[in-house]
A and B are shown apart, each in its own frame.
Chain A
Amino acid sequence: MSQNDLHYVRTEMALPQPAPLRERGPVAWIRKNLFANPFDSVLTIIGMIIVIMILPPLVDWALVQAQWTGTDRTFCSTVAQGGIQPEGWSGACWAFVNAKFGQFMFGRYPIEERWRVILVAIMFVALLVPLLIPRVPRKGLNAFLFLVVFPIVAAFLLIGGFFGLPHVETPLWGGLLVTLTLSYVGIVVSLPLGILLALGRRSKMPVVKMLSVIFIETVRGVPLITVLFMASVMLPLFLPAGVSFDKFLRALIGVSLFASAYMAEVVRGGLQAIPKGQYEGADSLGLSYWQKTGLIILPQALKLVIPGIVNTFIGLFKDTSLVYIISMFDLLGVVRQNFSDPAWASPQTPASGLVFAALVFWMFCFGMSRYSIYMEHRLDTGHKR
């Protein structure tokens, strides 16, 4: 039997055929993703009904009917309400956000000094963005500039009082400036402090261990509102008469310590997840405690708890709004404070202001959350299931 007899053997590869029609194209995608089984179909239909009910009125309110420009409440109220809009009008009052935008960003920071805040913001972005992109070299220098040099320069610029820069007291700060300052300081302080506390809690030295446990449990056992309230109302009574201690600084310390206690517990979770063999392996190599912790344990532990750490950061970012109760005005506080301006009181003002605040908070929180997912994928070395 010669090879020539093998007529059924193809000499060239068959051309690839397109997938059957029911497996491709938008219809197939919809079938596969939205109507795969009866339960999915019901959920899809319910979801679509909700979207159809909510989306058009929302777009209509926020974009079509919205009032974009104006100088006072008359632009955002109907004729019956003493304004210029036709009867039955309902739209977002972006004119209010527009008029108050400076306050929402800077609070009552003097208008002629606001370039200082903008300069700090530019420095912040210029240092943060390269730090976040893994390809950019010189991470060490960048981190040093961002974590050590930047806060000092920013503090001098924002507070002022030297080189002819007028002094701007912290009670004048507000809006997004306060939100971001509190979050930045809270995040930068709480991560290292939290790691130290977590290590302290697992330490074999009884005093260190006890102090860490007492600190963590005390702070975690008290609501943040209480911490802030104590700092703002009780502390001045303990200090001698006439001595006042900057309220913003008190809030910064309160928020940072509070976040550190939570961070410590997150990090401790990571430390406990590292198998004992890693510790013993490091010991057998003759590494010191700090070498072992810094080179073997922490890199693995921190990687495991990235979601928890970012969760704490996002929580901290949103918790900054609580400074409202000690009469400091973060973004949400300033927005709410401006509802009381009689020149802008209208039925649409509160909703518009709150939607704007929600949008800004969402942008920051969503950004942090996406970046943490990216980082998790990048650092994934087989722990993911």
Chain B
Amino acid sequence: MKYIISGILGAATLGMVATAASAGTLEDVKAKGFLQCGVSTGLAGFSAPNDKGDWQGLDADFCRAVAAAVFGDGTKVKFTPLSAKERFTALQSGEIDLLSRNTTWTINRDTALGLNFVGVTYFDGQGFMINAKKLPGVNSALQLSGAAVCVQTGTTTELNLADYFKANKMEYNPVVFEKLEEVNAAYDAGRCDVYTTDQSGLYGIRLTLGAPDDHVVLPEIISKEPLGPAVRQGDDKWYHIVKWTYFALLTAEELGITQANVEEMKASGNPEVKRVLGTEADTKIGTDLGLGNDWVVNIVKSVGNYGEVFERNVGQGSPLKIARGINALWTKGGLQYAPPIR
């Protein structure tokens, strides 16, 4: 009897929690008072804990930007570190509100898995790193015929590598390992001539090598890895908020609005800046999104614009020193492009 009663009570409590959580994501997030954001279990420059245990990186800062847009406070975010296998279930089951975890946007994930990708916060791709001392004069991946290539097994990286060498009618010797640490050690010990993985990863790995200056990342990119945040399908309001947070970061960079000058820019006479920062009379841009009209001000105040986020976490302001490359704004020859905020 005791068990039956406790069972009924348990079921009732579960039911209550479930009803409370069935409203829209924005309302849920506001009711909770914080954003639950899924990040990686540790990837240099994207999401990794610093000495105090705070999450740092491009993906972590994107979470802060969304929290700033919703709450006006970029610190109202809780991070859930997720392994590659757990990430989609965590989003589907509602454990997290936003997945910002260096996830490649593919059609399968967008359709079959019930996710909506909001954009590409980092255009990545598989690249090659070589030891310039062992292979002098090599400056293109097309000169790598016959090379021994270190690669992590069971990844798309391995398949892309095979495709690339086959398509270019070149021979290669794969040297495969199960764990990333093993691949690093093998490459550093000179067991292979070439290391291949996502280009952003190559820069991080270069820091752990014995003589980083001997190693060169080749210019070729052999696969498309557009990394971006994703939300659950079926909640357009929330999808729009996250999507336009990303566009707001880009637009702020385009208009030269930075963390340092955002307060001065509010007084700017430029109509475009006024529209974006919500200082135009009778503006409804923010409220139509379900946010305050100062949402962009809050985003930029808490993390800066896209360029600042990039340089601080992966660019010149970080140990990784990745060049902007195709992640530059469209006005500077890159692919980052935002529709107008008006």
Contacts and interface: CB of A to CB of B under 8 A. Distances in A.
Given A73-B319, A243-B14, A350-B208, A343 B50 contact: yes
Nearest to B48: A340
B89 A237 contact: yes
Nearest to B16: A243
Contacts of B42: 336-341
A-B pairs, top 9 by smallest CB distance, nearest first, are: A242-B21, A340-B42, A236-B93, A345-B207, A108-B53, A340-B48, A342-B44, A240-B18, A337-B42
A342 B320 contact: yes
A188 to B, nearest CB: 23
Interface residues of B, number: 46
A171 B80 contact: yes
Contacts of A171: 78, 80
A169 B188 CA distance: 40
A194 interface: no
Given A237-B92, A241-B93, A242-B20, A107 B53 contact: yes
Contacts of A346: 207-208
B159 interface: no
A341 B49 contact: yes
B93 A337 contact: no
Given A243-B17, A244-B95, A338-B42, A345 B83 contact: no
B61 to A, nearest CB: 14
A321 to B, nearest CB: 14
B119 interface: no
Interface stretch (A25-33, A95-103, A126-134, A179-187): A95-103
A373 interface: no
Interface in B136-183: 181
B129 to A, nearest CB: 15
B13 to A, nearest CB: 9
A212 interface: no
Contacts of B53: 102-103, 107-108
Interface residues on A, range: 35 or more
B24 to A, nearest CB: 12
B83 A340 contact: no
Given A341-B50, A342-B44, A241 B86 contact: no
Interface stretch (B67-75, B210-218, B296-304): B210-218
Contacts of B48: 337-338, 340-342
A273 to B, nearest CB: 37
Interface string A347-375: 10110000000000000000000000000
B41 A345 contact: no
11 contacts: A82-B212, A171-B78, A236-B90, A240-B15, A329-B41, A337-B81, A338-B42, A340-B43, A340-B44, A343-B319, A347-B208
Nearest to B13: A243
